[in-house]
Amino acid sequence: MRTLVSASVLARHRGLYWTIFGGTVGAFVLAFLFPVYWMVVGAMKSPEELVRTPPTLVPSEWHPGTYRDAWGTMDLTTHLTNTVVQAAGAWVLQLVFCTLAAYALSRLRPAFGRVILGGILATLMVPASALLVPKYLTVVDLPLVHLNLLNSPWAIWLPAVANAFNLYLLKRFFDQLPAELLEAAEIDGAGAVRRLWHVVLPLSRPVLGVVSIFAVVAVWQDFLWPLLVFTDTNKSPISVALVQLSNDLPVSQLIAAMVIASVPMIALFLIFQRHIIAGIGAGSVKG
Amino acid sequence: MAAPTLTPPAPRLASVSRGGRRPRRRLKDNVTAYAFLAGGLLCFGLFSWYPAGRALVLAFQQSNSVDSATWVGLDNFRLLFDDPEFGAAWRNTFAFTGLALVIGFAVPFALAVLLNELRHAKAFFRLAVYLPVMIPPVVTALLWKWFYDPGPGLFNEVLRFLHLPTSEWTNSTRTALVSLVLVATWANMGGTVLIYLAALQAIPGELYEAAELDGASIWQRIRHVTIPQTRFVMLMLLLLQIVATMQVFTEPFVMTGGGPEDATITVLYLIYKYAFVYLDYGSACALSAMLLAFLGVFSALYLWVTREAT
């Protein structure tokens, strides 16, 4: 594909190209990979070595046991389980309710559907931080039923469903599905549920994948909201636990815990990188 | 590399008209549709629409967790205006957003233009630049807090190694805010670069060819082809970035606690303080309403721009 510099110019300046290429690779390694390396390796240095000046590039003694110690002191089993439960629930509920609502708005066209869609899109204009306090007060005392959701995963799960961005992504995708397929299914006597399950969903795997990744990553990375709704540290996800326990831990153990908290996200990225990169483009360029 | 796309498998066809149905059938359709919508509507109602209205009401009330709320008119706003942290929070938030734009707007664009010209190791560059985005923000903040440590922190060690003067980083009122901007830029740049790369790849090659035939230099080609062709994406990212960076919280909360001397307190941090440290929900909502009014303009512009384009 033709870009800014043509292939013939590039062929004439081989040396310059490889210099720039090498420089860029070096800069990327230093800027993006080295900090991660420093974190992974820093956790395995002894406490004395960690504060040594000048620092060692490779640990002179390896202490991989720090990871085990950090797991124990920070009770990472509890916090990782909490995070997984919160992320999984948010994922399932968001997938079910956003898909149902998006399908209804896109294909069933109920009365006042446009008004409802407008109301949902309007929430995109409201910055999340502006709703922080009233949303917290709602969770503390749910209107009408007067339930307190503090320290319960429902405080993560239910607000996660109110995700206008993912709902709109799904709705736009459903809008573009071939109408004659759905009409044919309707003529064959398939009801709304069967049409959704047997026609729409099998065609929607790419968008469902993107929404799933967005849903899980959002919960795993969130900090302020879980900080507010989990006052009991034993219920809190890993991100909150890291900050709350960061001052009581030896530095090397804290760093080890940080690595452990990042591993699932990095693994997710390496496995689903194509979907994630496609999703970034879809989510923002196409609005 | 066959990346999955978000385009459905077949082109769109005109949908068959639904007119001429019997009213009973229409009613049944509506019942089904609302049954499908119920869960979503309940959640939007409880956690988006109701809180948005409540924020506007609470802004004019005195409210804490103990007493019932009373109307106080503009008292919450007066209280905020008298708070020296109020001015500091807005100044810092604007400075943060401005600096984040200066660094975070030009650098990703230049990087994307450069990466688009490189013919090798494309996958490596994409993975590397997006890696920080996937690291949980709390981990990023703690990691950079450790790098910024004026004693054995990585950055001062590197500066000492290069025989350069060391810095106080987040410990000095002069450099604290800039230090946080660097963290935010490092952490968020990946998404921007990838979006620019996608936009660059959509530029038709003939445009560059024609420009080259006309004798345009590389800089002229960037100015007259690349930038005009990506103007829409730039505008969109600009608006998105303003809305996102104005809501900065995790970095100052984790790294500096708003200090030193309020040098890094932000509007969202102050909302948090009013609500959860002073337990004054009314003033917190008054401040939220101000942020809402300010950012709502940019969000609306963003939605308008993207709708115009699609």
Which whole number is the average pLDDT over B171-188? 89
Cβ contact, residue pair A127, B200, below 8 Å: no
Instruction: Give the whole-number percent of chain A exceeding pLDDT 70.
Output: 97
In what helix (H) or strand (E) does residue B274 lie, and over which residues does it extend?
Answer: helix B267-276
Cβ–Cβ gap A133/B58 under 8 Å: yes
- The tens digit of pLDDT for each residue in B215-226 reads 888 888 888 889
Residue A248 contacts B where some CB pair is shorter than 8 Å: no
Residue B165 CB: number of other CB atoms within 10 A? Answer: 7
pLDDT tens string A220-252: 999 999 999 999 989 999 999 999 988 888 888
Q: Is the peptide bond before B51 cis (omega within 30 degrees of 0)?
A: no
Q: Higher-confidence residue: B6 or A42?
A: A42
pLDDT at A52: 81
Does residue B183 carry a pLDDT above 60? yes
Q: Dig out the tokens for B146 from the structure.
A: 């450790």
pLDDT at A125: 82
pLDDT per residue over A107-145, tens digit each?
Answer: 888 889 899 999 998 888 888 888 999 999 999 988 888
Q: Which residue of B has its CA nearest to A204?
A: B8
Residue B40 has pLDDT above 80, yes or no: yes
B152 to A262: CB separation less than 8 angstroms, yes or no: no
**Which pTM was predicted?**
0.88
Range A242-246 contact pairs with CB under 8 angstroms and sequence separation of 24 or more? A242/A74, A242/B138, A242/B139, A242/B142, A243/B138, A243/B142, A243/B253, A243/B254, A245/A74, A246/B142
Report ipTM for this prediction: 0.90
Strands (E), chain B: 61-62, 70-71
Mean pLDDT for the stretch of residues B27-31:
84
Model confidence at A286, pLDDT cuts 50, 70, 90, reads: very low
Give the residue-averaged pLDDT of B254-270: 89
| pLDDT confidence of residue B65 | 62
A vs B, Cβ pairs < 8 A, gives 352
What would the mean pLDDT of B225-250 be, rounded to a whole number?
88
pLDDT at residue A235, as a whole number: 93
pLDDT at B238 over 90: no
**Where do the domains of chain A lie, and which CATH numbers do they carry?**
7-63 (no CATH), 69-285 (1.10.3720.10)
pLDDT at A277: 76
CA distance A170 to chain B (A): 10
A283 pLDDT exceeds 60? no
A44-102 tens-digit pLDDT? 988 888 888 788 888 888 988 899 999 998 899 999 999 999 999 999 999 999 999 99
Q: In this complex, do B288 and A129 lie within 8 Å of one another by their Cβ atoms?
A: yes
What are the extents of the domains in chain B? 24-58, 76-309
Assign A7 a pLDDT band (cuts: 50, 70, 90): confident
CATH superfamily placement of domain B76-309:
MetI-like (1.10.3720.10)
Banded pLDDT at B46 (limits 50, 70, 90): very high
CA–CA separation, A150 and A161 (whole Å): 17
For residue B2, give the DSSP letter: -
CB contact under 8 A, A277 and B3: yes
Q: Transcribe B143-170 into DSSP letters.
A: HHHHHH-TTT-HHHHHHHHTT-----GG
How does the average pLDDT of chain B come out, rounded? 85
- Residue B8: predicted pLDDT: 56
Question: Which chain A residues are within 8 Å of B291, Cβ to Cβ?
Answer: 127, 129-130
Show residues of chain A in contact with B306, CB under 8 Å. 286-287
Residues of B in contact with A220 (CB under 8 A): 136
pLDDT of residue B286: 92
What is the residue-wise DSSP string for B116-134?
Answer: HH--S-HHHHHHHHHHHHH
Q: Are A104 and A148 in contact (CB under 8 A)?
A: no
Q: Is the predicted pLDDT of residue B13 greater than 70, yes or no?
A: no
User: What mean pLDDT do residues B217-240 have?
Assistant: 87
The pLDDT value recorded for residue A84 is: 96
User: What pLDDT sits at residue B7?
Assistant: 56
- Report the pLDDT value the prediction gives residue A139, as an integer from 0 to 100: 92
Residue B208 to residue A6, Cβ atoms within 8 A: yes
Write out chain B residues lying below 8 Å of A137, CB-based.
Answer: 51, 54, 58, 281
Q: What is the mean pLDDT of residues A181-207?
A: 88
Residue A30 touches partner B, C-beta closer than 8 Å:
no
Are B54 and A138 inside 8 Å of each other by CB?
Answer: yes
What is the distance between the alpha carbons of residues B133 and B192, in angstroms, rounded to a whole number?
A: 10
Instruction: Name A20's Cβ contacts closer than 8 Å, sequence gap at least 6.
Output: B114, B118
Q: Is the pLDDT of residue B3 over 60?
A: no
Query: Searching chain A, which residue's CA lies closest to the CA of residue B226?
Result: A4
* pLDDT tens by residue, B88-116: 999 999 999 999 888 878 889 999 999 99
| pLDDT computed for residue A9 by the predictor | 82
Q: What is the pLDDT of residue B261?
A: 85
pLDDT tier, A281 (very low <50, low <70, confident <90, very high otherwise): low
Q: Is the pLDDT of residue B68 over 90?
A: no
Of B33, B236, B299, the CB nearest to A104: B33
Please indicate if any CB of chain B lies within 8 Å of the CB of A27.
Answer: no
Task: Please provide the average confidence, as pLDDT, over all residues in chain A.
Answer: 89
Q: What pLDDT score does B62 carry?
A: 82
